[in-house]
C-alpha cells in the first residue's frame, strides 16, 4: 500500500516521492496508445468469436469491455490535473484500479465462452491473452502494483477456466498458463527493479544538480554581496585612512627636530603599513570576486619600465642596491595597469629579499612572445618552497610573521593576475644565488607615434631633485576631514591653499582668485564628490572654463579598473 507523504519529507522520503512521480509519469505517458490498442484487439477478438461460436456471451463480454473503455476519462483526467505531480500516489492508485478492471474483464472471457470442443479457437484465445499479458507487463513495469493488477486476473482467469473444463489437454494448458504467469511476473519484476534503480539514479543526479545549482546561486549571491562590500570598503575605508595619513604627515613635519618627532615617525610607519595591508587585501578580494576585467591593448614596455624606475629607485637607494631596468623597443598585448601591478609586486618582492647586489628587469623577444624577466641576487628559493610562495600569507624563513617583510600576498596577487591576463608565469631559482621570475607576454606591433628611446636605467646614486610645487592650490573634496588634513599638509609647502566641498564653491573661489589677480596654479580634486558628482568631469569643466592655466590632479580611493582607465584616458594624474 502506498503511503501519503508529509508536506516536508525527510531526504529519503523526498527521493521516494520523486521516484514515484517519475514512475507514474512513465505509466501515463503511454496510457492513450495502450488503451486504444487493447480496445481494438478486444473488439476484433470478440467479432471473431461471435462469427465462430454464435455465442451471446461474447456480446456480453464485449459490452463489458466497452463499458470499461468508457471509463477512459478517469485516466485521462491525469493530464488535466495541475497538481498531478503532488498527487502522484493518488494517480498511481487510479491507474492500478483501472488495470485491475481491464484485466478482470479479460479474465472473464474464458469463463464465458471458452471453446471447449475447438482446440484451434482455444489456442487462439490463449495466444491473445498470453500475448496481451506479456506486452502489458512490460508497459506497466515502472510500478510494481500495476504488474500484479494487470497480469494476474487475466492469466488466473484463463488457467482456472481451462482446469474447470477438465481433460488432459486442458489441464496441460492450464499448467502451461500458470508457468507462463510465473515467468512473466519474474521478468516484469526484474524490469521493474532495473527501471526503479535507473530512476533512483536519475533522481539522485537531479537532486544533486539542484543542490549544486542552489550552491552556485548562493555563491554568486555571496560574490555579488562581496563585490558590493568591496566597492564600499575600497572607498569608505581608504578615505578615513587617507585623512589619518595626512594628519600624521602634518604632525611629523611640525614635530621634526623635537623630542616627540620619533613617535610621529613611528605613527606614520604604522599608518603606511596599514594602508599597504588594506590595499593589498582589497586587491586580492577583488581578484577572487571576479570583478577585475582586463582591458588589453598594445603597450610599450619602455613606459612600463619608466614607471617602475620612478617608484623603486628610492627604495633601491635606501638598501644600497643596484636597480637596473633595461629600456626596450618591444611592444606587448596586455592590460597596462594590471601588467604594471604584476611587475610592481615582482620588483618589490625582489628588492625586499635581496640583501646585496641588485635587481635587473629586462625584456627579450622570443618568436611571437616577449619574455619579461625580473632577476635578483637574493637568497633564492629551494625547490620544495617554489610552489608555496604563491600561497597567501606564506613567506619562506618568516615563521614569526615579521611585518617588516610584508604580508606575503604580493606573489599571490602576481599569480592571480597571471591567470587573469593569460600571461604564463615561470620561476627559476637557486638557493644562495638568486631568482628569476619570467612573465611570458604576447608580442604586439608598435603603434605609430614618436618614441623616446631611453637608455638603460641604473640607479645607484642620489635621487633627482623634486620639481617646484605650485604655490596657489585649490582643494575640492566633500569630506571635511580630508579637506582639513590636506590644507594642513600643503600649508607647509605652498604659499596659499583653499579647500571647498563642491564644484559650485570651487567656481566661486576661482573667480575670486582671478579678480584678485592671484590665479590658482593647481586644483586637487576628489574623484567622487558629494551627491554622486563626478570629480573628473567637474575638474575638467572648471579647468576648461575658469582656470586653463591650472594643472588638475585627482585623488581617489577607487580601485575599479574601468574608472582608473577612464582617468588615464583623460590624461589627468591620479
Pairing of strands 472-476, 496-500: parallel
Q: Which of 299, 249, 304, 300 is nearest to 271 (CA)?
A: 249
Going 119 to 121 to 123 to 126, the CA torsion angle's sign is negative
**Residue showing cell 478517469:** 74
* pLDDT at residue 455, as a whole number: 37
Please write the tens of the pLDDT for every residue from 32-83: 888 888 889 989 988 988 888 888 888 999 999 899 888 888 888 888 888 8
Average pLDDT over residues 386-404: 55
Average pLDDT over residues 427-441: 86
Decide if 527 contacts 574 (C-beta within 8 A).
yes
pLDDT band (50, 70, 90) for residue 22? confident
Average pLDDT over residues 555-570: 69
472-476: strand order across its sheet: 496-500, 472-476, 522-526, 551-555
Residue that wins the pLDDT comparison between 275 and 503: 503
What's the distance, CA 223 to chain centroid? Answer: 8
Distances (CA, A) of 499 to 235, 239, 262, 384: 20, 16, 30, 56
Residue 13 predicted with pLDDT over 70 = no
pLDDT band (50, 70, 90) for residue 186? very high
* pLDDT at residue 454, as a whole number: 36
Ramachandran angles phi, psi of 325, nearest 5°:
-125, 110
State the helix-helix crossing angle for 11-29 and 88-113, rounded to 10 degrees: 50
Ramachandran angles phi, psi of 318, nearest 5°:
-60, -35
What is the C-alpha separation between 490 and 520, in angstroms, rounded? Answer: 14
* pLDDT at residue 556, as a whole number: 75
* pLDDT at residue 353, as a whole number: 82
Pairing of strands 369-376, 358-366: antiparallel
Please write the tens of the pLDDT for every residue from 208-253: 888 888 888 888 787 667 656 665 666 666 667 777 777 777 777 7
* H helices present in 295-370, as ranges: 301-318, 336-352
Average pLDDT over residues 478-505: 82
Q: Which of 537, 534, 541, 542 is nearest to 558 (CA)?
A: 534
What is the C-alpha separation between 393 and 390, in angstroms, rounded? Answer: 9
Residue 521 predicted with pLDDT over 80 = yes
Q: Which of 549, 555, 481, 483 is nearest to 521 (CA)?
A: 549
Distances (CA, A) of 505 to 342, 491, 526, 533, 542: 40, 20, 14, 13, 11
Q: Which of 338-342, 467-471, 557-561 has the largest mean confidence?
A: 338-342
What is the C-alpha separation between 442 and 371, in angstroms, rounded? Answer: 9
SS (H, E, C) 557-568: CCCCHHHHHHHH
What is the C-alpha separation between 416 and 53, in angstroms, rounded? Answer: 88
Residue that wins the pLDDT comparison between 556 and 428: 428
Average pLDDT over residues 408-429: 82
* pLDDT at residue 341, as a whole number: 84
Residue that wins the pLDDT comparison between 15 and 123: 123
Distances (CA, A) of 508 to 232, 461, 486: 31, 46, 20
Decide if 481 contacts 349 (C-beta within 8 A).
no
pLDDT band (50, 70, 90) for residue 461? very low
Please, is 555 exposed, middle or buried when counting C-beta atoms within 10 Å of its C-beta (0-12, 13-18, 19+)?
A: middle
**Residue showing cell 582589497:** 282
User: In the chain, helix, strand, coil percent, each to 5?
Assistant: 60, 10, 25
What is the C-alpha separation between 222 and 212, in angstroms, rounded? Answer: 15
Residue 418 predicted with pLDDT over 80 = yes
DSSP annotation of 258 reads: S
DSSP annotation of 79 reads: G
Please write the tens of the pLDDT for every residue from 128-158: 999 988 888 888 888 888 899 999 999 999 9
Pairing of strands 322-325, 457-459: antiparallel
What is the C-alpha separation between 441 and 447, in angstroms, rounded? Answer: 17
Average pLDDT over residues 200-212: 84
Average pLDDT over residues 255-259: 78
* pLDDT at residue 154, as a whole number: 92
Please, is 208 exposed, middle or buried when counting C-beta atoms within 10 Å of its C-beta (0-12, 13-18, 19+)?
A: exposed
Q: What share of the chain has pLDDT > 90, as a percent?
A: 11
* pLDDT at residue 2, as a whole number: 36
All cell numbers assigned to 110: 474464458
* pLDDT at residue 557, as a whole number: 66
Q: Is 38 helix (H, G, I), strand (E, B) or coil?
A: helix
Give the chain's mean pLDDT. 80
Which residues on neighbouring strands pair with residue 324, listed in sequence order? 360, 458
Residue 492 predicted with pLDDT over 80 = no
DSSP labels, 477-530: -S-HHHHHHHHHHHTTTSSEEEEESSHHHHHHHHHHHHHTT----EEEEESB-G
Residues 6+ apart with CB under 8 A from 200: 15, 19
Residue 457 predicted with pLDDT over 50 = no
Which residues on neighbouring strands pair with residue 458, listed in sequence order? 324
Neighbours of 50 (CB within 10 A): 17
Q: Which of 256-260, 282-286, 413-417 has the largest mean confidence?
A: 413-417
Residue 278 predicted with pLDDT over 50 = yes
Q: Which of 502, 455, 504, 503 is nearest to 480 (CA)?
A: 502
Amino acid at each position: 500500500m502506498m503511503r501519503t507523504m508529509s508536506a516536508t519529507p525527510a531526504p529519503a522520503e523526498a527521493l521516494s516521492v520523486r521516484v514515484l512521480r517519475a514512475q507514474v509519469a512513465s505509466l501515463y505517458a503511454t496510457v492513450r496508445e495502450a488503451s486504444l490498442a487493447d480496445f481494438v484487439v478486444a473488439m476484433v477478438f470478440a467479432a471473431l468469436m461471435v462469427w465462430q461460436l454464435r455465442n451471446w456471451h461474447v456480446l456480453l463480454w464485449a459490452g463489458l469491455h466497452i463499458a470499461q473503455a468508457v471509463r477512459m476519462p478517469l485516466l485521462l483526467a491525469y493530464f488535466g490535473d495541475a497538481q498531478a505531480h503532488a498527487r502522484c500516489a493518488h494517480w498511481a492508485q487510479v491507474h492500478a484500479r483501472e488495470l485491475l478492471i481491464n484485466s478482470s474483464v479479460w479474465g472473464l472471457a474464458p469463463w464465458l465462452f471458452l471453446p471447449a470442443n475447438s482446440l484451434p479457437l482455444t489456442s487462439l484465445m490463449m495466444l491473445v491473452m498470453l500475448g496481451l499479458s506479456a506486452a502489458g507487463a512490460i508497459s506497466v513495469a515502472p510500478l510494481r502494483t500495476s504488474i500484479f493488477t494487470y497480469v494476474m486476473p487475466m492469466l488466473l482467469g484463463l488457467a482456472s477456466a481451462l482446469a474447470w473444463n477438465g481433460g488432459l489437454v486442458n489441464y496441460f494448458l492450464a499448467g502451461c498458463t500458470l508457468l507462463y504467469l510465473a515467468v512473466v511476473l519474474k521478468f516484469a519484476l526484474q524490469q521493474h527493479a532495473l527501471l526503479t534503480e535507473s530512476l533512483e539514479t536519475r533522481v539522485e543526479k537531479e537532486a544533486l544538480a539542484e543542490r549544486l545549482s542552489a550552491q552556485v546561486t548562493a555563491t554568486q549571491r555571496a560574490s555579488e554581496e562581496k563585490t558590493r562590500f568591496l566597492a564600499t570598503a575600497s572607498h569608505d575605508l581608504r578615505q578615513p585612512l587617507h585623512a589619518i595619513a595626512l594628519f600624521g604627515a602634518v604632525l611629523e613635519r611640525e614635530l621634526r627636530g623635537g623630542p616627540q618627532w620619533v613617535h610621529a615617525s613611528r605613527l606614520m610607519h604604522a599608518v603606511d603599513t596599514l594602508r599597504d595591508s588594506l590595499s593589498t587585501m582589497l586587491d586580492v578580494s577583488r581578484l577572487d570576486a571576479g570583478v577585475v576585467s582586463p582591458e588589453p591593448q598594445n603597450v610599450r614596455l619602455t613606459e612600463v619600465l619608466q614607471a617602475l624606475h620612478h617608484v623603486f629607485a628610492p627604495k633601491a637607494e635606501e638598501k644600497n642596491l643596484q636597480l637596473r631596468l633595461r629600456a626596450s623597443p618591444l611592444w606587448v598585448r596586455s592590460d597596462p595597469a594590471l601588467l604594471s601591478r604584476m611587475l610592481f609586486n615582482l620588483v618589490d618582492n625582489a628588492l625586499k629579499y635581496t640583501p646585496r647586489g641588485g635587481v635587473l628587469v629586462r625584456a627579450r623577444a622570443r618568436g611571437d612572445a616577449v619574455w619579461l624577466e625580473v632577476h635578483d641576487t637574493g637568497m633564492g628559493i629551494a625547490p620544495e618552497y617554489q610552489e608555496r610562495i604563491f600561497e597567501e600569507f606564506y613567506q619562506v624563513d618568516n615563521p614569526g610573521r615579521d611585518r617588516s617583510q610584508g604580508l606575503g600576498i604580493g606573489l599571490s596577487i602576481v599569480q592571480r593576475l597571471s591567470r587573469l591576463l593569460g600571461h604564463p608565469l615561470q620561476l627559476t631559482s637557486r638557493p644562495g644565488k638568486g631568482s628569476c621570475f619570467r612573465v611570458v607576454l604576447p608580442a604586439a606591433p608598435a603603434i605609430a607615434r614618436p618614441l623616446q628611446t631611453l637608455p638603460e636605467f641604473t640607479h645607484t646614486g642620489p635621487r633627482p631633485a623634486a620639481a617646484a610645487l605650485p604655490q596657489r592650490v585649490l582643494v575640492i573634496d566633500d569630506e571635511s576631514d580630508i579637506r582639513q588634513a590636506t590644507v594642513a599638509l600643503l600649508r607647509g609647502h605652498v604659499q596659499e591653499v583653499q579647500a571647498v566641498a563642491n564644484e559650485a564653491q570651487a567656481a566661486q573661489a576661482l573667480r575670486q582668485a582671478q579678480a584678485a589677480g592671484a590665479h590658482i596654479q593647481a586644483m586637487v580634486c576628489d574623484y567622487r564628490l558629494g551627491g554622486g558628482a563626478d570629480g573628473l568631469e567637474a575638474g575638467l569643466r572648471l579647468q576648461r572654463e575658469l582656470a586653463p592655466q591650472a594643472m588638475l590632479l585627482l585623488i581617489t580611493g577607487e580601485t575599479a579598473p574601468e574608472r582608473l582607465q577612464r582617468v588615464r584616458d583623460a590624461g589627468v594624474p591620479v
